[in-house]
Structure 1
Amino acid sequence: MRLKIAMTMTTVVFAGAAFAATEEQGLESVKAFTLEHNDALIVEAEKMQTAAEDYAALIDANGGDYVAAWAAEPQKLAESVQALRAQWLAASNQYETIEGIVAGIPSTAKYDLILDAGNPGTEAEGVAEFDLTLPDGTVLEKPGSLFHTITEPLFWGTDKDHVKVEADLNGNGSADPGEVLFDANLALGAAQGMVKWAKALRDDMAAWEPNRDDAFTAVVTMTPTVGDYFGEWKESQFLGGDEAAFVAQSRLIDVLGIMGGCQLMYSAAVSPVVATSDAALDSAVTNDFDELIALVSETREREAAGETFSAEEADALGSEAQDIAERIVSQVLQAAAKNGVEIKG
């Protein structure tokens, strides 16, 4: 059952990114796949910037008074917020599809912190090393990732510090949780930053020279992060938590993209190497990746069908996924040793 689902998910996520017969072809296909989705990320981020400009213009037209703006243009503002959310989802999903690759390659890993996974400078580790300049000239030093620290909590109203006014966005007669107008200056600045850094990632990815060490490193580095993602899912509002991030969609959707990227890197670029030296080992890793993707896929399908998971069930599923991931890493490290591969880190 799981194997069938895993094969289906691979077909959906990686349509057009056929697994290659040789290592060189596989490495080039991974690069091409990543650049394709990076280009799509830029397009969606630019649309998000346009939506932020429209939102800011509505606020500016009312002298920066959010209450007055809502009174004057409720329909336009509601549509503007929905446009920002839709473009956020479109951009985020493009990035999640390649995160397992981008974050695993040493020369591009910094972009994962900036765009998606980095902590603000107040944290001790995993800090996104960039500053964000807003349209009014304010400079936010090391503010955290653009997707999950800044824009997602902002657009979905969980960033309480930047809520300007509650607003009945869906027109049901009351402002439900998350229905707010938010800081237009921050929204536009963050959207501009998204475009800037998505383009910078594209430049460095285009310059990346695909190689065996990076491919193995990406698989070994990113596959075992799956347990952390299940932990974030457990703490999210989808399972009754109160985290400010991961409110736009289930974290499991992200996990499918990230682990799918790891699977692609292995199948396309690493498997041709492993199979040459140890066909049985390659088969074992391939089957483990199928099992991992199937586990996440099945869990997401159950969630989408309306099943409610307890924290204990989330922990158990996360532990199962982590066990598979660690088995994959152990086997890939064996293959690395056999083939003289340097794992970077």
Structure 2
Amino acid sequence: MTDVISSREPLTVRVANVHLRHVVAVSAVLGGIGGAVLVPAVTGDDAGGVLVSAVFVVFACALPAAWRASASHHRLTVDAAGLRMAGPIGDRWTVTWRELGRVTFSYSRPDLSQPRRGHPVQPPKAELVLSPASPDFRDAHPEMEDLAEEVSGEPGFAYSLPLGSLQRSVGPIDDALSAFAGGIYVRDGREIPRGLRRPWAVVASVALALAFWVPAMGYAALPGGADPADIAMGSFWTAVVLAWLVRVWTGGPMAIGFMKFTATFIGGAFLAVILLLAGMGVGDGDTRSDDLQRYGFGVLLSAGLLLSGLLLGRADVREWCEARAQGR
């Protein structure tokens, strides 16, 4: 069951192919790589490394500015009067509910799988289709001609507005259409659940992944001393892992899908290798008590990482993640 929609507040969403948060994420990665390259370059007096670092930093700073200059500034508004698409210099088109016989909002479920040969990840679909109530609609709205398309089995034209990049607005758009266009609104997609709490499996998965990463980084860094290059690179990858785990914690579909695959694969591979080495050592009779303790510790950490990936495959995690990804 879902809650009854009581709000009739107008909704305005930005229609853009690339959102600012994606640009910021890429810029942060480029800036992190630049910083990781800069530290060993400065300490080692390497002019070439400084130049490479500067290139990464320049790209990191330039991306947000380029996005702001080139991104679409169109906004879709849904309110009591109808639908309105506004551009940088004013309204591009406006349609009232009285002019429409049907409004269909089609959307698919987010794909949490990983790309495989012959089975690429399908981008989520979201599309608004406006079916006019009168044949005169086309003459009344020549500014919408680029959206017109013939519909098989039906007379006249429908007007299709792809909204694939607005996955986080799917839930709010559904709410607004249900509130303002209830008599003509047709939902073509599953009803998105509301108010789902973060599953315990997500909490456990993030904790297990951290329990693997922190000792692994400590084991790799401590024996090598305080080499600036190692510290910089370790700090960079730790920041990347933490950022990825934050996205898992908040329900990012790509982050959860990637972690489900990589944690299961890496955890299983580490577990198999450690068990194989331990078995070979015990069979040779030259395994000491300290070695057994290290093997046991490695088995626990690897099994935990494997479990963290398996937990993200649960049905309740998928349902929560999909709802979060679509604005609920």
TM-score norm. by structure 2 comes to 0.28
Query: Relative contact order (alpha carbons < 8 A, sep ≥ 6): 1 or 2 greater?
Result: 1
The structure where helix makes up a greater share of residues is 1
More strand per residue: 1 or 2?
A: 2
Q: TM-score, normalised by structure 1?
A: 0.27
Rg: which structure is higher?
2
